[in-house]
Amino acid sequence: MSKRAKPAASSPFSFVLFGGTGDLALRKILPALHAAHCDGSLGPDGRILAVAHTPLDRNAYLRWADEHVRPHIATARSSDAQWEAFRARLDYLQLDASQPDAFAALREMRDSLQGTRIFYLATGPSLFVPICEGLAAAGLTDGARVVLEKPLGYDLASSNAINDAVGSIFAEDQIYRIDHYLGKEAVQNLFALRFGNSLFEPLWRREWVESIQITVAEQLGVEARGSFYDQTGTLRDMVQNHLLQLLSIIAMEPPQSMDADAVRGEKLRVLRSLKPLGAEDIRRNVVRGQYHAGAIDGLPVNGYLGEPGVRPGSTTETFVALKVEVENWRWAGVPFFLRTGKRLAGRVAEIVVNFRPVPHSALGAQPLRSGSNRLTIRLQPNESIRLNALAKQPGMGMNLRGVFLDLAFDQFFQQDRMEAYQRLLLDVIAGRLALFVRRDEQEAAWRWVAPILDAWRSPDAVPKPYAAGTWGPAAASALLARHETCWIEEEN
């Protein structure tokens, strides 16, 4: 397999990783930095300082990285020599970020934090403000960049409180609110598909599109995150950020350029055009579910209430399906159906654009089938674009049958794929903001989901059960049936 072209080396930087012994650090951030190191895109003068409360020195941290980080790195991407060279970039500082006085130790290292300072907050949101205040007190914020992981708050009010506090220390163009979905290669291809091809633009509107489906399905349960997930739920964890970001990219107008503010400004217009949800809309068009015991790949799995860390009798949702409308000139009257959940029948992320049937059959008594013409954009597990159409079946008569054209990207592009976190971290290092969420985008998304959160606080608002290993509650299918369509679940 051919290798990706070697990126240009970056300028000197100091990458300070708060939460440096956490799950996100060992599974995603450090492996992504290692991949960038192997590609030659970090440059020789990039250093990584892990910061955490765990009592370790540098040598102990390197042993921890050998044990916990290296297993998450593909062996094909890393020789022993590459791993040793990456380890040489690492340092460690024990620091309790909840204690303001602790940042004196980081201030003493100020002269060694050369180049652009990047502070990655891979911690709970409760530490975002104390860390930023500690950095400011240590005199480390001038010209620095700060990366904030989701969830950024629990609702609109808490999100605004964090943004206000962080924004009083860092300017907006210093703040990188990360949504790793925006770094996926397949999501980048949404921009290429829409704005690089004249084929689709004339059809990308209400006159030709009947409905659009966005599905992000997981087979995994809450794993070891039961206590976190029980305080969060699928609406906050997936819909408010990932799915609304995908919707905004699919529905946005062509930006003037791929400049950060041009792209984010068009996404914001979509988010502000979402039809507000009243109580009746929520009752009819939002489905809330929770998985019960079932089977995944033939093996029994627990229900949500049996997961470690989940409160007895919890009503936290693990599935959400909803109908969304974009009230603007391009999309008026076109329903967007969003679906996401855990312990579903498959692991898939895809967007299905259903085109309207022909207005009159010139081929005799042929059914004018909804969805016969559709474009399926598969984001995971394997990237592809499939265009479904009707063709004449061989033989006598004019009998139509569904066929498809399939474009599998791994067959066209043989080079290694860049993982989402690697792309986003390189963008932070280079100072590129286009793939990060601007504050007004985030506020618009929180404002739109707020009525749903309020409605679900009612004691009567309990999630509908579904068996693990299925596609969710029956009400999710009924939601689409009322619009004379169904969820598209294609084998790939």
What pLDDT band is residue 152 in, cutting at 50, 70 and 90? Answer: confident
254 pLDDT higher than 90: yes
In a domain, 426, yes or no: no
Q: Cα(235)–Cα(454) distance, rounded to whole angstroms? A: 12
List the domain range (segments joined by +) for residue 125.
13-177
398 pLDDT higher than 60: yes
pLDDT at residue 6, rounded to an integer = 45
What is the tally of structural domains in the chain?
A: 2
Q: Choose the final residue of a domain: 154, 177, 200.
A: 177
Q: How many CB atoms lie within 10 A of CB 61?
A: 21
Q: Cα(366)–Cα(369) distance, rounded to whole angstroms? A: 9
Length of the chain: 492
Q: Which residue has the higher pLDDT, 181 or 165?
A: 165
Q: Do residues 140 and 210 both lie within one domain?
A: no
Q: Do residues 160 and 289 both lie within one domain?
A: no
Q: Do residues 241 and 341 both lie within one domain?
A: yes
Q: Do residues 161 and 193 both lie within one domain?
A: no
Q: Per-residue pLDDT tens for 196-246?
A: 889 888 999 999 999 999 999 999 999 888 898 999 999 999 999 999 999
Q: Do residues 167 and 219 both lie within one domain?
A: no
Q: Please, what is the average pLDDT of the chain? A: 91
Q: Choose the final residue of a domain: 135, 158, 177.
A: 177
pLDDT at residue 58, rounded to an integer = 96
Active site residues: 242
Q: Cα(230)–Cα(227) distance, rounded to whole angstroms? A: 5
Q: Cα(142)–Cα(136) distance, rounded to whole angstroms? A: 9
Q: Hey, what's the torsion of the CAs at 79, 77, 423, 16, to 10 degrees?
A: -30
415 pLDDT higher than 80: no
Q: Do residues 245 and 154 both lie within one domain?
A: no
Angstrom distances, CA of residue 12 to CA of 48, 146, 334, 367: 11, 16, 49, 63
Q: Do residues 234 and 364 both lie within one domain?
A: yes
Q: How many CB atoms lie within 10 A of CB 142?
A: 8
Average pLDDT of the segment spanning 19-35: 94
State the pTM of this model.
Answer: 0.91
Q: Which residue has the higher pLDDT, 403 or 413?
A: 403
Average pLDDT of the segment spanning 16-33: 95
List the structure tokens of 233. Answer: 């739920």
Q: Per-residue pLDDT tens for 330-360?
A: 999 999 999 999 999 999 999 999 999 888 7
Strand pairing class (348-355; 374-380): antiparallel
